[in-house]
Amino acid sequence: MIIEFGHYALVLAFALTLVQSIIPFWGGITGNERLMAVASPVSVMLFILVLISFIVLTMAYLSSDFSVLNVVQNSHSAKPFLYKFTGVWGNHEGSMLLWVLILVFFGALVGFFGGNLPADLRALTLAVQGWVTAGFILFLLATSNPFQRVVNPPLEGADLNPILQDIGLAIHPPLLYVGYVGFSITFSFAVAALILGRTDAAWARWVRPWTLLAWCFLTLGIAMGSYWAYYELGWGGWWFWDPVENASFMPWLAGTALLHSAIVMEKREALKVWTILLAIFTFSLSLLGTFLVRSGVLTSVHAFATDPARGVFILGLLCIFIGGSLALYAWRAPMLKQGGLFAPISREGGLVLNNLFLTAACAAVFVGTLYPLVLDAITGETISVGAPFFNLTFGPLMIPLLMAVPFGPILSWKRGDLLAACQRLYVALGIALAMTLFTFWLWGMEKVLAPLGVGLGVWVMAGAVSEILTRVKLFEIGLKRGISRLWGLPGSAWGTAVAHFGVGVTVLGIVTASAFQEEHIQTMRPGDSVELSGYQVTFDGAAPRRGPNYTEEVGHFTIRKGGVVVSELDPSKRVYTARQMPTTEAGIYTTGFSQVYLSLGESRGDGAVDVRVYFKPMITLIWIGCVIMSIGAVFSMADRRLRVGAPKPSRKRTAAAAPAPAE
Amino acid sequence: MWKTFFSAFVLSICLMVPSVHAVTPDEVLDDPVLEQRARALSAELRCMVCQNQSIDDSDAPLAKDLRVLVRERLVAGDSDKQVIDYLVSRYGEFVLLKPRLAWHTILLWAAGPISLVAGMIAIVVTLRGRPKRLQAEAGSAQTKLSAEEERRLKALLEKTD
List the 143-162 stretch of A: residues with Cβ below 8 A of B: none
- Chain B contacts of A513, Cβ < 8 Å? 18
Residue ranges matching CATH 1.10.8.640 in chain B:
15-100
Q: Output the pLDDT for position A82.
A: 86
Our CA-based measurement puts residue B154 at a distance from the nearest CA of chain A, in whole angstroms, of: 32
Q: Is A83 within the bounds of a domain?
A: yes
Query: Do A28 and A63 belong together in one domain?
Result: yes
Whether pLDDT at A300 is above 60: no
Residue of B23, B52, B108 lying closest to A386 (CB–CB): B52
- Whether B51 contacts chain A with CB within 8 A: yes
- Whether A396 contacts chain B with CB within 8 A: yes
Instruction: Find the Cα–Cα–Cα–Cα dihedral A322, A325, A330, A334, rounded to 10°.
Output: -140
Cα distance between residue A425 and residue A437, in whole Å: 18
Query: Do A560 and A442 belong together in one domain?
Result: no
For residue A508, the enclosing domain spans 405-516+621-631
Q: Is A529 within the bounds of a domain?
A: yes
Q: Please, which residues have CB within 8 angstroms of residue B122's CB and are 6 or more apart in sequence?
A: none
Q: CB–CB of B54 and A338 under 8 A?
A: no
Q: Does domain B15-100 have CATH number 1.10.8.640?
A: yes
Query: Do A33 and A117 belong together in one domain?
Result: yes
Q: Is A538 within the bounds of a domain?
A: yes
Kindly report, residue by residue over A321-345, the tens digit of the pLDDT: 999 999 999 888 887 776 667 777 8
Q: Please, which residues have CB within 8 angstroms of residue A255's CB and are 6 or more apart in sequence?
A: A179, A183, A211, A214, A215, A218, A282
Sign of CA dihedral A320, A324, A248, B52: positive
Query: Do A488 and A625 belong together in one domain?
Result: yes
Residue of chain B with shortest Cα separation from A399: B10
Residue of chain B with shortest Cα separation from A457: B13
Whether pLDDT at A97 is above 70: yes
Query: Do A152 and A14 belong together in one domain?
Result: yes
- Chain B contacts of A351, Cβ < 8 Å? none
Q: CB–CB of B116 and A356 under 8 A?
A: yes
Kindly report, residue by residue over A166-216, the tens digit of the pLDDT: 787 888 888 999 998 999 999 999 999 999 888 777 787 888 888 999 999
Residue of chain A with shortest Cα separation from B93: A383
Whether pLDDT at B140 is above 70: no
**What's the whole-number mean pLDDT along residues A360-382?**
90
Are residues A151 and A68 in contact, defined by beta-carbon separation less than 8 angstroms?
A: no
For A270, which DSSP code? -
For A323, which DSSP code? I
Residue of A238, A338, A391 lying closest to B14 (CB–CB): A391
Q: Output the pLDDT for position A301.
A: 55
Query: Do A9 and A48 belong together in one domain?
Result: yes
For A321-325, A485-489, A562-566, which range has the lowest pLDDT when averaged over its residues?
A485-489
Query: Do A148 and A70 belong together in one domain?
Result: yes
Cα distance between residue A195 and residue A540, in whole Å: 69
Q: Is A655 within the bounds of a domain?
A: no
How many domains does chain A fold into?
A: 3
For A232-236, A510-514, A564-568, B86-90, which range has the lowest pLDDT when averaged over its residues?
A232-236
For A317-321, A635-639, B24-28, B53-57, which range has the lowest pLDDT when averaged over its residues?
B24-28
Q: Is A196 within the bounds of a domain?
A: no
- Whether B50 contacts chain A with CB within 8 A: no
Instruction: Enumerate helices (H) and strands (E) in chain A, giving the number of each.
Output: 23, 10
For A230-244, A635-649, B48-62, which range has the lowest pLDDT when averaged over its residues?
A635-649
Query: Do A118 and A5 belong together in one domain?
Result: yes
